[in-house]
Chains A and B, each alone.
Chain A
Amino acid sequence: MIVTFVTIIIIIAMGITIGGRAKVSVPENLLGKIITPVQKILYKGGQVVDDGISSLFTFRTISKENKTLKKEIAALNQKVIALSLTRDELDELKNLQDALKYVSQNHKKNYVTASVTGKDVGNWFKVFIIDAGKNQGVRKNSTIMNGEGLIGRVYEVGDSWSKVISIIDKQSSVSFQVLRNNQYLGVVRGSLKGELMGYLIEPEADVVVGDKLITSGLSMYEKGILIGEIKEVVKKEDELLKTIIVEPVVNFKKIDKVFIIIPDGLD
């Protein structure tokens, strides 16, 4: 009898809270405030032990990686010189733009750093908790990234904690553009397997394996954040769209510090 009654209340609560709220209720907020600091310590401890143990077994690959990275640095240094020349040119053009009183759409963005305190306990979704919330200025649907690339977006906000949905979650979909040619747009979604599946809007687009994808700014995510690399291009005869499988750049097993991008003048 009581169970039936509670079941009905729970179903109503599910209906109300589906899709995430901009602000959680007082008891939820309190529970989050108590639990997240403890979680943070345990999560950090786990990471430290894991790093220590795994580095013992992988020292050979690390030294190999070191060599390839050194080569990469040499190549990148040359690129930096080339790019700095282009930047000077761009600065001049921007000055020209100001002189011509051209309207620019330059939003100022605020960055907040936070650390991950806990990850999803089930196997269905890829949700995690971070230790920044409304007090730090985080809002629902703010973009989350780290040094490597796009991670996800804020789903629910507490006072000093918030829930984040990562891009490899099934519920998430990101609009992207190909870095090499920004005419090619598309959408990637998470899947059960933990990789990103997506499609290109234009079926004739010639994307190849290894192409880098960045956010296009058409969805909730900020523009120009690296998502990942194309791992596989599937073209089916009977479908108009070109399907792609994308390998995310972020290693979701090892995320620790994240940035939250808070756009100015958006509510």
Chain B
Amino acid sequence: MRALIISSIIILNFLMQSTLLQHFRILEILPNTSLIIVIVFAILSGKKRGAAIGFFTGMVQDILLGNMLGANTLIYMIIGYNIGIFEKNIYKDNYLTPVFFTIIATIIYHLMYYVIMYMTHNTINIFLLFRKIIFLEVIYNAIVSIFVYRAIFNISKHSYMKVKIR
């Protein structure tokens, strides 16, 4: 039941992000809701599940829109795992928790992507990257993460999700 709900959230998110959410691009920047969902699940359910959810979210994105199989998969999995480590030591009913982790994870996502792209001969100017993409996306993601966190937090209160909330 839980796996079914989580996987349908992942698929639904991908469908929305690639179609309807495209109309909400501000200055060509789209909020990365896949990354936010991985972060939120990692915060709520720990490192193992965080890594698994990161893996599948990245996989769907890589298969349908990636330019190689595995770039997003790897980054989402590592982010999900590492944020999940903090699961037992953070306050979960505070909305600043997802905002804080989203800001850090967005920057790490782009830096890791930069490294992978650098190794595959797709170099770009890193200052331009910070100015044009990262700066705006951090703000956008942080705002969106509050709403996503609230929605998933409410879903995970139900007994079938089996998430411990302190």
Query: Which residues does A use to contact B, with CB under 8 Å?
Result: 2-3, 6-7, 10-11, 13-14, 16-20, 24, 28, 31-32, 35, 38-39, 42-43, 45-46, 49-50, 117-125, 127-129, 155, 163, 165, 170-171, 192-194
Tally of A-B residue pairs with Cβ under 8 A?
Answer: 124
> Does B133 contact A118, Cβ atoms closer than 8 Å?
no
User: How many chain B residues touch A (Cβ–Cβ < 8 Å)?
Assistant: 47
14 CB contacts below 8 A, A to B, read: A3-B51, A7-B74, A11-B70, A31-B64, A35-B15, A39-B15, A46-B22, A119-B18, A121-B21, A121-B34, A128-B65, A129-B18, A171-B67, A192-B125
Residues on the B chain within 8 Å of A2, using CB: 51
B81 touches A3 (CB 8 A): yes
Give Cα distance in the complex from A24 to B23, angstroms: 29
Q: Nearest CB to that of B119 among chain A residues? A: A14
For B61, the chain A residues whose CB sits under 8 A away are 121-122
Q: Is the CB of A192 within 8 A of B132?
A: yes
Q: Of the listed stretches B25-33, B90-98, B147-155, B157-165, name the one at the interface; the rest are far from the partner chain.
A: B25-33
| Interface residue from B15, B67, B74, B122 paired with A11 (Cβ < 8 Å) | B74
Which residues of B are found within 8 Å of A42, using beta-carbon distances? 15-16, 19-20
Taken together as a complex, chains A and B put the C-alpha atoms of A18 and B69 apart, in Å, by 7
Please measure, in the bound complex, the distance between the C-alpha atom of A75 and the C-alpha atom of B22, giving whole angstroms: 37
Q: Is the CB of A14 within 8 A of B124?
A: no
- B residues within 8 A CB of A120? 18, 65
CB pair A170–B124 under 8 Å, yes or no, is: yes
